Copies of this chain bind each other. A is one copy, B any other.
């Protein structure tokens, strides 16, 4: 395999495959020389101009808007070319007859080194033989492989924005509030852990609690009185209204 990209996703995948018996990353390709050099002790590295033409799989772990352009520069015509994006369709790899998608549904930070065994790897390919190859590749990382076509993967990626990006931002707003009162941000961690644990046993619909769920307008008014930041007031109002609407028939 040739791995194209040197960002968080490429780094994490490479660290999983570096000691693999079944996957051999023969080359890492990137523009960023400094990042590229961190792969150098474990495999050969090259710029896009020096990309190998005899690997069996070309895996693109580049930014969404670079996928189309970079894929055009892959010299191989009969090899499997795959991108790792949740938001981009398989069509972005337009000039490749054997194309696919290999999307690990996770948030990647370079500082978090643990493995990907539980992470869903969403795969797609135009040909069934290529789908089998991607399934095997997925199994080298995870026990959780799902075949998901581009239209559904797009929605999955969108839902991940709600579940990961937006929830994280709400945690930031919560931590800001604590900071202003000189309360330690760790106070909220057990609550956050339980919020997630509950979702292993019941749907988020069933798990909902709080003043908006109960229709407790007195507490909501008190909260809005405490919130001096206009942005946070807007978030509070809109999410409370959205919760209310979700359960409107039950209140």
Contact = CB atoms under 8 A, between A and B. Distances in A.
Contacts of A231: 242, 245
Interface residues of A, number: 88
A178 B202 contact: no
Contact of A191 (B163, B188, B205, B213): B163
Interface in A161-205: 161-175, 177-178, 180-181, 183, 185, 187-205
Interface string A134-163: 000000000010101001101110111111
Contacts of A202: 109, 111
Assembly stoichiometry (copies): 2
Contacts of A189: 196, 199-200
Nearest to A85: B219
Interface in A65-117: 65, 87, 105-109, 111-112
Nearest to A178: B159
7 contacts: A111-B201, A111-B202, A160-B188, A165-B210, A165-B243, A169-B242, A171-B204
